[in-house]
Amino acid sequence: MLKRDKAGFTLIELMIVIVVLGIVAAIALPSFQSIIEKRRLVGAADTLFANLQFARSEAIKQNRIVQFQFNTDSWCYGVDDTPADCDCTSPATCKVSNMQRVVTSSDYKNVTLAVTGFDGTTIDFEPRQGLPSDDGEFTFTINGQSKKVNINVVGKIKVD
């Protein structure tokens, strides 16, 4: 009598493994969703912080007014070193040293933006000390979570 060694898996064993993996994935998916949303929120706030800092430093570096323009309706913002030219809904108009500087809501899916405290839709950073023309707060929100970026009259920018 010949003895045969069986190698491999049976179809039933393979199906059981696939079902178990499916159950584990279904349980883990909601927690991954909240992690992804939190990262989007943090990314939006950090990018705004970096662009405000960039606008301020460029004003000092270039020794000219640099404008930060935002639009809450379509939720976008842009930086421009030739004030009054920037309209973030037309990204090609917002440039610093001929490089486009625009961020839009499409970069951060499902994140909303609310703005408080500003008189208009632009912040001009003056060249001598980088002081902003206005102060206020930007609030990003996604599914009940929020992150705030504040700018005060002396140009201090912080993320809460």
For 82, counting Cβ atoms within 10 Å of its Cβ (0-12 exposed, 13-18 middle, 19+ buried), the class is middle
Q: What is the mean pLDDT of the chain?
A: 91
What's the mean pLDDT in 137-144?
95
Q: How many CB atoms lie within 10 A of CB 36?
A: 13
Q: Say which range, 40-49, 77-86, 94-103, 123-132, has the weakest mean pLDDT.
A: 77-86
Q: Is the pLDDT of residue 44 over 60?
A: yes
More confident of the two residues 139 and 6: 139
What is the mean predicted confidence (pLDDT) over 110-137?
Answer: 94
Q: Taking residues 64-68, what's their average pLDDT?
A: 94
Q: Average pLDDT, stretch 20-40?
A: 88
SS3 assignment, position 154 = coil
Phi, psi (rounded to 5 degrees) for 83: -50, 150
Please tell me the class of the 11-159 domain: alpha beta
- Residue 58's pLDDT is what? 95
Domains of the chain, residue spans: 11-159
Q: Where are the beta strands (DSSP E) in the chain?
A: 66-71, 76-80, 95-96, 99-100, 102-104, 112-116, 122-125, 136-142, 145-151, 157-159
- pTM to 2 decimals? 0.82
SS3 132: strand
